[in-house]
Structure 1
Amino acid sequence: MRRIFVRPLKDFLKQRRFFELSTVKAFSDRKQSVVDSNHDAVNKINTKLSLVKSEFPSVPVASRSFADVILDALLRHSKEQPNRPAMINAEDENDFVTYEQLYIKSHTIAAFLESLKFGRGDIACTVLPNCWQFLAAFIGCSIQGGSISGANHNFIDRELAQQFIDSKCSVVFCSDIALDKVIKACENAPSVKKIIVVPLLLEASKLGEKKLPLNVVHFSTVLSATPNLNKQSLEVVVDKDVLLLPYSSGTTGAPKGVMLTHKSTMMNCFNYHFHHKLITKFDPNWEWKTGHQCFILPLYHIYGFGIAINCLLSGGCGILLKQFDGDIFCRTMQNYKINHGLLVPPVLVFLAKSPVVSKYDLSAMKFIMTGAAPAGSELIEEVKKRIPSVSQISQGYGMTEGSMASHLPVYGMDNTSSCGRLMSNLEMKVSDVETGQPVPIGEVGQICIRGPTTMLGYLNKPEATAQTIDKEGWLMTGDIGYLDSDGWTYIVDRLKELIKVRGFQVAPAELEDLLLSHKGIRDVAVVGIADNVSGEVPKAFVVKDNPDLTVNEVLAFVRDRVSPHKELKGGVAFVEEIPKVQQEKF
């Protein structure tokens, strides 16, 4: 059970940091840089409110289903470039899928799902690393009017069961290497009727030797179905029907299903597609239909998913890494002469410090966008020195609940400390945390976003939805920041409890609940501490109920029950008590 009327140690730290940031001293360095650069900005800061609309032209509002839009794009690209690969396996360039093949295979998967009576309102989960089969499964589900909920391929069976149970998924697509834990997870998830196993990591012969349970079918069986390439489009309500159901901890608490509609998902794709055209600002010769992108971000994550779908809509060629490997990443960037990277801060650390980088020619790289977690200015400068061809490294900003990005950098306008400018069709306000009213430009407050990319809500969690989206439609991000007089947004702190480990969300509440299930633990608080490689890592403050309890025992207890990024890499500290304050007052 979560404590209702008290706040643990992490809230003292969170509140202390917020009140410090609210003082002139804590904020003076960043605010003064704006004032010093333009003396006239002083008056603007004092008179204008942080309530703005995007400066960019509006993009068309999505009115068609995702399936209609993506299938039209696949068909068009397959006719224009019949042999153009849509996606290539970075580990094996002979493992690829063309646009025509992806079009047909998506219809084939849809036909198999139809035989299972999978349709509108149904949900399929994926437990797959980055691979073209993930995208084919997603498109196939969308053709049937269903939804996809991607799970972390590294989840253990307990974590998978939580997502399967909460989403009530009826179909699971999983890799061969994940099959055993998926089967175990499904023992507690009666909604799952069929498991489709994709041979990716084990030798085909080894998978063939396994006797599959009755509810498990091989992916080759799915692909033997007869596709209906003339299938009539299913009617969907684009602003109500859920297309994507990623799981996010939101601003607090355990992971929740984020209901992203056809409209919200497509609006962000259209928006990103428009914004990406500005890439010609730094490379006039680059175009989608001859260029390549390297995808290291997991497709189940909204960032990785969004840029991969944008690639397909645009006719690009994506190179997929199943998991990050320094040599494979650098070789991909070198061999395909990729000129821009869509990365996260831990990869910037790799580029700045790893000796592996020196073995490869990365001189084609000219621009890097980083997101999912903040990147420091010093780190950005280190990467630029290491790879001199990179003229700009900028940060973007967004959240799963907003269908990916709300802010992106502008090519040719380098502002490393900002998280970018507000994207098309969106509104933003920086609001007073207590009143919800917009604060003057240059003052800190909670970042709030409103627009057609906002989620429908959290699955079966109306109270959590109401705490995140107010009655006026503002999505409250839980991030503290400010807007300067030139339209740049800056993030300076977080109200939310989430710990960001290599860009992945870790909810302290989830780890606290797990630790409290240990008989030797009386009370606990989990906080995030700074880490040079991961950004943040979880640390537990534990009150013993058993005097013989050891640090190693606590570490092992957590390690055996969670994914690697949730482990207590920040350590364990034993304390006499967890300080507590009233829920509403500091």
Structure 2
Amino acid sequence: MPSYGGPIDIRDISLHDLLWEKLREHGDETAIVDISGEERPITYSEILDMSRKCAAYLQSAGIKKGDFVSICSSKAIEYTIAMIGILGAGAIVAPCNPSYRKNEILQQFTISRPRAVFVDEEAVVTTESVKTSAPFLEMIFVIGRSTSYPTLDHIIMNGNPEDMKKVDVDPENDLAIVPHSSGTTGLPKCVMMTHRNYVSMVSRLFSASGKVPEVLLHDRPIYHAGGFAVILANLVGRCKVIRKNVFEIDNVLMDIEKYKVTMIYFVPSTLMEMVNAENTEKYDLSSLKRFYCGGATVAPDVIQRMIKKYGVEFTAGYGMTECLSVYRNVVPEDETSEIIRGKIQLGVEVKITDVKTGEECKIGSVGEIRIRSAQVMKGYLRNPSANAVAFDDGGWFKTGDLGFVDIQNRLAIIGRMKEIINYKTMQVSPAELESVIVRHAKVADVGVVGIPDAICGEVQRALVVPKDSSLTAEDIHKIVNENLTEYKHLRGGVKFVSFIPKSPTGKIQRELLKTM
């Protein structure tokens, strides 16, 4: 029998209507304080007003239901206004990493085909270059200053909510956001998430917790699925978000003291910095109540050190872009198990299947984790072949992760079947790196693997078969660095080999590759 986290009521409402309802309720309280540069606070009422003006302007510009509109920005306040505005106009949000190079953006835009894009002023030149190869991209809106394109400030100043037309939304079937993910294999994909997917996530988060933290310190990339999901959830949950783009431990400790932070979302790399922080007694950290960590597994001894050092409640989480959060677990202070186990979230079904046969495993047996819930994606956009692999005949999403459910109905994560490399919280596709490296005239073949790293979880290593003996590791680093964004770089180095092990069907045998 599949394991079940229990029932949950999910409202039949669009994501933007839910957000507008909560923004209206929370009124003039501070919603977000952006401290990435000069301190900038914004209230719930201001986000409500500005996002409605943005929605009205987009409709007047011709944006209609079903259109895709991308956001390439790292600015949390502006991102939030644009995101809710796009949804309110009836369109679909297509997040994009603002540090991407032209080819990376094109790869994503070719799938989502956005009619318009909101872009940071620093990335306008790259976006203009993309536009020359993307005939579907009609409009550029700039977050910041511009004399060539409408800015977000201009949009807010000129949008009239009274002219906004109500858009009929089918929450269960209409898309809201298509975040970028590498999926289980292959090149990056756009994940089709409906309004119901995100309404379910928000409903479950606050039903499960039973309490809402007061002040959250948030540094995860806003364009990442985990970054904007945290913003959405806390807008609904009435939690003040202290937003910064860079995690620097001394500044973080000062921010905790200054803003009376009660909760922090960590990834393992920033968690380790917090554990190893020195001179913490210099700061007043008494406001801290809870730490959350996701993105990769964390060693139990690290968790215990964190609990003892800061006197906080620690929650470990497991989820992914395609199915949002699957479990959360408050780790006991005396936890000694080498494997962290989590309570399955409300509304989530989990089934463990034999890796070879696909048959359901017994309690306690390790197999592939499969998920079914209102949070699971509709599928990958314009990619029927990937969808055929991602779901089984019963509609269960195949995570590619290994785990088991114990007798107490708790889910444990053991490892990963899939090839995707998890660098910090970012997913890196080996196929994408390989497609860049193999372009080099002196490369005969290449395979990319993730190797364990204590801080980052995994880092990328390229094993290269040279055509020419003059090929150097620097040559490989150069072509990668010039074509791919920073987190995809080869921190695990370059190794030259005589061949790349492959199966009879031509698939790279990565486990063998890791031993070379």
Moved more, 187-196 or 220-229: 220-229
Q: How does 1:183-582 map to 2 (within 5 A)?
A: 183-199=128-144, 207=145, 211-212=147-148, 216-229=149-162, 231=164, 233-277=166-210, 279=211, 287-288=212-213, 291-355=214-278, 359-385=282-308, 387-390=309-312, 392-402=313-323, 404-410=324-330, 417-582=339-504
In 1, Cα distance between equivalents of 2:60 and 2:222: 26
1:160 corresponds to 2:93: no
State the secondary structure of the residue aligned to 2:399: strand
Could you tell me how far 1:119 is from its partner in structure 2? 1.4
- 1:123 is aligned, of 68, 71, 91, to 68
Aligned letter for 1:60?
A: D
Instruction: Provide the C-alpha distance between the structure 2 equivalents of 1:459 and 1:528, rounded to a whole number of angstroms.
Output: 27
**1:89-100 maps to which residues of 2 (within 5 A)?**
89-91=34-36, 94-100=39-45
Contact 2:300 2:340 in 1 (8 A): no
- Higher Rg of the two aligned structures: 1
Q: Which residue of 2 aligns with 1:77?
A: 26
Instruction: Name which of structure 1's ranges 486-495 and 501-510 shifts more when overlaid on structure 2.
Output: 486-495
CA separation of 1:563 and 1:584: change in aligned 2, threshold 3 A: closer
For 1:176 and 1:438, locate their aligned partners in 2 and report how far apart those are by CA, in whole Å. 52
| One-letter code aligned to 2:173 | K
Between 319-328 and 542-551, the greater mean CA deviation after superposition: 319-328
Match of 1:68 in 2: 17
Deviation at 1:379, TM superposition (A): 2.4
Query: Paired residue for 2:514?
Result: none
Distance (Å, rounded) in 2 between the aligned partners of 1:165 and 1:296? 29
The corresponding residue for 1:16 is: none
**How far has the Cα of 1:479 moved from its partner?**
0.2
Report the CA distance between 1:523 and its aligned residue.
0.7
Distance in 1 between residues matched to 2:81 and 2:184, nearest whole Å: 32
Amino acid at match of 2:273: F
Gaps of 5+ in 2: 510-516
Q: CA offsets, 1:198-232, max 9 Å, x none?
A: 12xxxxxxx46xx52xxx22222111213215845
How far has the Cα of 1:411 moved from its partner?
A: 7.4
The AA in structure 2 aligned to 1:519 is: A
8 Å contact from structure 2 (residues 436, 479) kept in 1: no
How far has the Cα of 1:427 moved from its partner? 0.8
Alpha-carbon shift at residue 187 of structure 1 (Å): 2.2
For residues 501-549 of structure 1, give each alpha carbon's deviation from its aligned partner in whole angstroms, at most 9, with x where no partner exists.
0110001111111111111111111000011221110001100011110
2 CA distance for matches of 1:411 and 1:233?
45
CA distances 1:161-208 after superposition (whole Å, capped 9, x unpaired): 221222100111111222222222222222111111112xxxxxxx46
Aligned-pair CA distance for 1:327: 3.5
Q: For structure 1, which segment, 447-456 or 481-490, has the greater mean C-alpha deviation from structure 2 after superposition? A: 481-490
Structure 1 spans left out of the alignment, 5+ residues = 1-48, 200-206, 280-286
Further displaced range: 474-483 or 410-419: 410-419
Q: 1:139 to 1:532 in 2, by over 3 A?
A: same
Distance in structure 1 (CA, Å) of the matches to 2:112 and 2:348: 29
Q: State how far apart, in whole Å, the 2-side matches of 1:419 and 1:398 are.
A: 13
Question: Deviation string for 1:344-396 (max 9, x for gaps)?
Answer: 101111112244756533333232111011111232233334x2322x32310
CA contact (8 A) 1:172 1:195 kept: yes
Aligned CA distance change for structure 1 residues 369 and 358 (closer, same or farther; 3 Å):
same
| Structure 1 residues 429 and 99, CA gap change in structure 2 (3 angstroms) | same
Deviations 1:311-337 (A, max 9, x none): 111222111112333333322222222
**C-alpha distance 174-124 of structure 1, shift in aligned 2 (>3 A):** same
* Distance in 2 between residues matched to 1:132 and 1:339, nearest whole Å: 21
8 Å contact 1:130–1:299 — kept in the other structure? yes
How far does the alpha carbon of each residue in 1:489-511 deviate from its partner, in whole angstroms, 9 at most, with x for none?
A: 11111110010001100011111
Aligned residues of 2:352 and 2:366 also touching (Cα < 8 A): yes
Q: Aligned partners of 1:317, 1:119: CA distance in 2, in Å?
A: 32
CA drift of 1:551 comes to 0.8
Q: Is the 8 A contact 2:182 2:420 kept in 1?
A: yes
Aligned residues of 2:343 and 2:409 also touching (Cα < 8 A): yes
| 1:255-309 deviation per Cα after TM superposition (whole angstroms, max 9, x unaligned) | 10100011111111111121222x5xxxxxxx55xx1111111222222222211
Matching residue of 1:143: 88
TM-score when normalising by structure 2: 0.93
**What are the superposed Cα offsets for residues 126-169 of structure 1, whole Å, 9 maximum, x if unpaired?**
11114111111111111111111111222222211221222100
Q: Is the Cα–Cα contact under 8 Å of residues 194 and 217 in structure 1 kept in the other structure?
A: no
User: Residue type matched to 1:474 in 2?
Assistant: W
Equivalenced residue count is: 506
Which residue identity is paired with 2:452? A
Counterpart of 1:103 in structure 2 is 48
2:28 paired with 1:53: no
Which residue is 2:512 aligned to? none
| AA matched with 1:251 | T
CA distance in 2 between counterparts of 1:344 and 1:419 reads 17
Q: Distance in 2 between matches of 1:225 and 1:158?
A: 34
User: What SS does the aligned partner of 2:150 have?
Assistant: strand
CA RMSD of aligned residues (A): 2.1
Aligned-partner residue type, residue 15 of structure 2: F
Which deviates the most, 513-522 or 225-234? 225-234
Measure, in 2, the Cα distance between the counterparts of 1:419 and 1:137: 37
Deviations for 1:436-475, whole angstroms, at most 9, x for unmatched residues? 2211111110000101111111000011011111221101
Contact 1:156 1:562 in 2 (8 A): yes
Cα distance in 2 for residues equivalent to 1:100 and 1:256: 35
Distance 1:357 1:568, change over 3 A: farther
